[in-house]
Structure formats: structure tokens, C-alpha cells
Amino acid sequence: MKSRVSLALTELCIMLLVLAFAAALCLRVFLWADETARQNTARDAALIHMQSVAELLKVTGSPEAVATQMSGAQRSGHWYIPAETYEIRMLPAEASGEALGSVYLEAVYQDTVLISFPVSWQEVAP
Amino acid sequence: MRENGKAKALTVTAALLVFVVFAAGILSVLLSGAGVYQRLTRRGSLSYANRTAAQYLATRVRQSEAAPLTGEFGGGDALVLSQTIGTDEYLTRIYCYDGWLRELFTPAGGQFAPEDGEKILPLAALEIEAGQNLLTFRLRQEGGPETVLSLMPRLREGARP
């Protein structure tokens, strides 16, 4: 009887170890999935935000005016617009051809660049 | 004999305790997995709904022949796009009513109710601001954050302002 209980105890201990290992793997994957989903949500929101910033740049013709309108600020030579989970940076870029101005837009989430593209604008529409 | 019994009881208690820890471990892993899955799908669907609604509005503004106008319909803001087919003028109203983003295509001057509009996407609220050369849409899903989309309407050559 005693040996049977001991056997059951040993069996349970081994199962517990296996479970702990599997749980650690599962939790790591869960955390990764959660973080990836958070990042994807931020990317979606940032893309719409960046589209609005690009449109406003075309209307105002100035990153400063856009930053002021969207509660942004200036930091180390570039304007940025903070959002809940990410920030949009307007990095200075050289305007080429007929463009009046040009910036490089970047959406940054926890030091990771999610999306980036250049925006140039010509004459402001009357 | 009594010591033997005590040892047996201890072993059984230990086995039961290990079993309880085992069961609690399985339960907590399952529950955390379910929680992550729930958050993931909720975030995904909110994000999809916001993105689709915003891009739908952007596409309708871009496709418009004439300059888009704003007005009121169904107790809220509406985007009004006019279009001439033959000699008749038609209006497309895009608005939020009864938890849906709706679209209503009618002859100009006709009387229609907001519930007549075609349901496009679920949407809790839509606000539209028209500034100089700029349209700003504020969209909100049920229980979700507000999405702001600004658009500079572009007119095609020969379009009516």
C-alpha cells in the first residue's frame, strides 16, 4: 500500500515538473502573442495617424504647425506627436524637385520603428 | 504500527497536495491562455473596425466628383457627396445611426429617414469637422478609443467645387 502511494507521489512530482516546463513555454508564447497584438494595434492606429499628419502637412506646409495642432513638441531637432502607445516623429528631410518641403515620418513604439515613409508637399492649395 | 500509519497519512497528504498544485497549475495556464486570446481578438476586431471605417471614409472622399460637404442627418454629422447622373442630381449621405455607419444614395431633395441607409460597418459615433481645405473625422467604436482621420479633399480636373 505504502509503495503504491509513494509511486503515485513520484508520478505526480514528475507530472508537476513536466507541467512547470510546459507552462513556462506557454506563458512565454502568450506574452509574445500579447506583445505582438499590442504592436499590431499600435501600427494600425499609427498608420491612420500618420495619414492625417501627411494631410495636415500638405494643408499647413509646416511640421511646426502640424505639431502645434496635434499637441506635439520639439526634441533634438525634430518635431514629434505623442499618442497613447506610440509617437510620430517628423524628421527633417531635404526637399527635392518642385517640393516646397519634405519630412520623414516615423511611428515609433517602444524604441521600435513600426512604419516610416517620406512626405513631400508642393504649393499649398488655395 | 502507529508510526507506520502516521507515515502513510503523511505520504497520502503529500500526494494530495502535489495533485492540488498540479491542478492549480493547469488551471492557471489555461486561464491565462484564455485571457490572452480574449484580449487579442478584442484588440484585433476593434483595430480592424476602426481601420476599415477610416479607410472607407477616405476612399469615399477621394472618389467624390464634387467637393464633399458636411451636414446633419439622423441626429448626427453626415458626409454629403453630390453626383450628377444625366441631368439629375443625387446625394450620397454617409452617417452614423443606431450603432452603424450607414450610406444613403438618394435623389437630391427627396425625403428619407436615417434608417433607410445601407448598413456598412458597426460604429458607435462619428463626428465630422470641416475646416479650410481639411475634413476631420472622429470615429469611435463601442468600448474602443477614438480614431481621428484628417483629409485634404482633392478635386479632379473639371470638378465642381
Complete edge-to-edge strand list for the sheet that includes strand B125-131: B125-131, B134-140, B146-151
Per residue of chain B (161 residues), give pLDDT as tens: 566 778 778 888 888 888 898 889 889 999 999 999 999 999 899 989 989 999 999 999 988 878 888 999 988 999 999 988 888 999 999 999 999 999 999 998 888 899 999 999 999 999 999 987 889 999 999 888 889 999 988 765 555 54
> CB-based contact (8 Å) between B39 and chain A?
yes
**ipTM reported for the complex, 2 dp:** 0.75
Q: Work out the minimum CA distance from B35 to partner chain A, whole angstroms.
A: 9
- What are the beta bridge partners of residue B147? B139
The mean per-residue pLDDT over the stretch A88-113 comes to: 88
Cβ pairs bridging A and B (under 8 Å): 98
Smallest Cβ–Cβ distance between B8 and the set A5, A34, A51 belongs to A5
At A16-74, the pLDDT tens digits run: 899 899 999 999 999 999 999 999 999 999 999 999 999 888 888 889 999 998 889 99
Give residue B15's pLDDT: 80
Q: What does the pLDDT read at residue A121?
A: 85
- Check A12 against B18: CB less than 8 A apart: yes
Q: How many Å from the N-terminal Cα to the C-terminal Cα in chain B?
A: 103
Position B102 scores a pLDDT of: 95
Residue B113 sits at the chain A interface (C-beta within 8 Å) = no
Q: Give long-range contacts, CB 8 A cutoff, 24+ apart: B143-149.
A: B143/B46, B144/B46, B144/B49, B144/B50, B145/A45, B145/A84, B145/B46, B147/A45, B147/A48, B147/B50, B147/B53, B147/B54, B148/A48, B148/A49, B148/A52, B149/A48, B149/A51, B149/A52, B149/B54, B149/B57, B149/B58
pTM value?
0.80
Residue from A7, A19, A28, A30 whose CB has the most chain B CBs within 10 Å, to mutate: A30
Give the model's pLDDT for residue B97.
Answer: 94
A80 pLDDT higher than 90: yes
**pLDDT band, residue A84 (cuts 50/70/90):** confident
A 86-115 residues with CB below 8 A of B?
Answer: none
B69: closest CA of chain A, how far (Å): 17
CB-CB neighbors (< 8 A) of B43 in chain A: 37-38, 40-41
